[in-house]
């Protein structure tokens, strides 16, 4: 159904060329049945997923947690929960985690990332010299 049909419940007059049989009652019923079947299938899929999923564990103030380090792709930082905010809120920034001086030293002493020992060569680029003729 078009957006106008959803909103008003019937097709609007327009200059868009369509066949008059496109809006016959039987097609409208078929479209409504398809929509209701899609909603039912979506709900069944959600129920199957929720049957095996776990609920999130509660975090309390003072709980020791591991923090993911996105620069190294590791769970190598440790912190303590100091405040609990809303999970859905996008306007508030997450509270800063308190990290001890020992943990800061440990983070700075991590081994550098392993790099390839392959010798890299300079790329050959097209160079144009206007002051000389080419050999071709």
Higher pLDDT, 96 or 38: 38
Given a cut of 90, whether residue 34 has pLDDT beyond it is yes
Q: Given this model, what pLDDT does residue 89 score?
A: 47
Is the separation of the CB atoms in 102 and 77 below 8 Å?
A: no
Global pTM reads 0.35
Ranges of each domain in the chain: 3-52, 64-108
Q: Given this model, what pLDDT does residue 39 score?
A: 96
Query: How confident is the model over 56-61, as a mean pLDDT?
Result: 81
Grade residue 47 by pLDDT with cuts at 50, 70 and 90.
Answer: very high
Given a cut of 70, whether residue 102 has pLDDT beyond it is no
Taking only Cα atoms into account, the Rg of the chain, rounded to an integer number of angstroms, comes to: 31
Q: Given this model, what pLDDT does residue 91 score?
A: 45
Percentages (nearest 5) of helix, strand, coil residues in the chain: 35, 10, 55
Name the phi and psi angles at 76, rounded to 5.
Answer: -110, 5
What average pLDDT does the structure give for the chain? 78
């Amino acid at each position: 159904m078009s957006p106008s049909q959803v909103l008003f419940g019937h097709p609007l007059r327009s200059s868009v060329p369509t066949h008059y049989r496109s809006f016959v009652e039987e097609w409208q019923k078929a479209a409504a049945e398809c929509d209701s079947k899609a909603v039912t299938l979506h709900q069944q899929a959600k129920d199957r997923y929720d049957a095996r999923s776990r609920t999130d564990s509660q975090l309390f103030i003072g709980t020791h947690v591991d923090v993911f380090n996105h620069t190294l792709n590791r769970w190598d930082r440790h912190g303590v929960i100091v405040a609990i905010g809303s999970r859905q809120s996008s306007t508030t920034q997450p509270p800063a985690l308190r990290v001890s001086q020992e943990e800061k030293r440990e983070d700075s002493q991590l081994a550098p990332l392993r790099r390839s020992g392959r010798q890299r060569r300079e790329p050959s680029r097209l160079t144009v010299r206007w002051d000389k003729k080419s050999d071709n």
